[in-house]
Structure 1
Amino acid sequence: MTLNPATERFVLHWGEMGTQWGVNRTMSQIHALLYIIGRPLHAEEITETLGVARSNVSNSLKELQNWGLVQKVSILGDRRDHFTTHTDVWELARIIIIERQKRELAPTVDFLQLLIDSPEFAQESIEVQSRIKETQEFVDTLTTWSQEMLKLPTSTLKKILKLGARIKKKLS
């Protein structure tokens, strides 16, 4: 499949952004392709379109499925597996945030709590103890807040995010 110029630029940019977020470029490009095309694609079609190795596509699709970002679907009359993703950017953002919390923030909260509860913690200076406790409180608060925000309907979440600086004025 040949991509139109704007579609190609979108896929390439998403791949670049993925590397900035610590995600494999090909994995990001595959996700962008599935999102922007909006229909199921089989692995060979993805390989041909992106010009990457078939093994790279297979590994990336498995990882995207592990993240819950890509689903395998069947197409009547075609024995190959096809892959799709949500076309609602808000739903994709929810999935990504939930996965990042699970993979990055939750282990950090747990680690910091274990550190605070360890006998070695009492041997640290008051300043170090304070910074570790503040870090744990910050990460825990951020996680709790974002979990609550993710429970909101998209329409409500959009309104909250669009409030922006007006929240500051109301709280001041």
Structure 2
Amino acid sequence: MTEITDSTDRLPVAVERFILHWGDLGGQWGVNRSVAQIHALLYLSEKPLAAEEIAATLGIARSNVSTSLKELSGWNLIRRVPVLGERRDHFVAETDLWEVITRIAAGRKEREIDPAIAALRTCVAQAEGDPTIGAVASRRLKAMLEFTETMDRWHSQMLGVPHATLAKLIRLGSRIVRFLPSKPEG
């Protein structure tokens, strides 16, 4: 049971382990450990939690919880929900894993891929007009831009594919290759 009714309740071992592990993974992915731990707690919680409950459960300063909740809200991974008879804000996490991954991918694309494409386009344009740029550097810049734009287009196309179809595609794995036209080796 992951419902937290009192700050003196101890979390089940598996829940605690998941929260700690998710926090560690968050750090490896460039996400603040507290943000990741709060997300994990809300994801596993059976009921909406107030910031004070989150702070007490995780042993995190209330101000850190507040900042982390704003960041998670900005990623659209949690939302505020009303609780009858309560004046405090309560929060729940998105639990549809496809939605979680889609939202994270959209946020990372906006923060990382879009600026990378803009920078690569600028570099390619500057390289085309610069006689001091060697052919190898120019070719590699163009190749990186083309690859990044291709992946960006693929991402946009995949957003339109229903989750059930994507799941089937993923489960096919490398077997999907047999459905592609083969090019004779020459």
Counterpart residue type for residue 157 of structure 1? L
| Structure 2 residue ranges without an equivalent (≥5) | 5-9
2:13 counterpart residue number: 5
CA RMSD, aligned part only?
1.5
Normalized per residue, which structure has more helix?
A: 1
Q: What's the % identity of the aligned pairs? A: 48
Corresponding residue number in structure 2 for 1:139: 148
Letter in 2 for 1:164: G
The one-letter amino acid of 1:117's match is A
Partner of 1:156: 165
Q: Distance in 1 between matches of 2:46 and 2:136?
A: 52
Q: What secondary structure, in the 3-state scheme, does the structure 1 residue paired with 2:88 have? A: strand
Give 1:108 shift.
Answer: 0.5
Equivalent position to 2:177, from 162, 168, 171: 168
Corresponding residue of 2:118 = 110
Conserved? CA contact 1:38–1:87, under 8 Å = no
Superposition TM-score, scaled by structure 2 size? 0.87
Larger Rg: 2
- Contact kept? 2:127, 2:133, Cα under 8 Å: no
Which residues in structure 2 correspond to 1:59-98 (within 5 Å)? 59-98=67-106
The offset of 1:169, in angstroms, is 3.8
Shift of 1:38: 4.0
Q: Which moved more, 1:146-155 or 1:53-62?
A: 146-155
* Contact 1:109-1:139 at 8 Å conserved across structures: yes
Q: Any idea what the Cα deviations from partners look like across 1:107-164, whole Å, max 9, x if unmatched?
A: 1001111222236753311111111111111111111111211221110110111111
Amino acid at match of 2:148: V
Deviation at 1:25, TM superposition (A): 0.5
Q: Which amino acid aligns with 1:137?
A: E
- Preserved contact between residue 38 and residue 85 of structure 1 (Cα < 8 Å): no
| CA deviation string 1:77-97 (max 9, x = no partner) | 100001111111111001000
Question: For the Cα contact (< 8 Å) 1:14–1:28, is it kept in 2?
Answer: yes
Rounded to whole Å, the distance in 2 between the matches of 1:154 and 1:139 is 24
Structure 1 gaps of 5+ residues are: none
What is the count of residue pairs matched by the alignment? 172
CA distance in 1, matches of 2:119, 2:46: 40
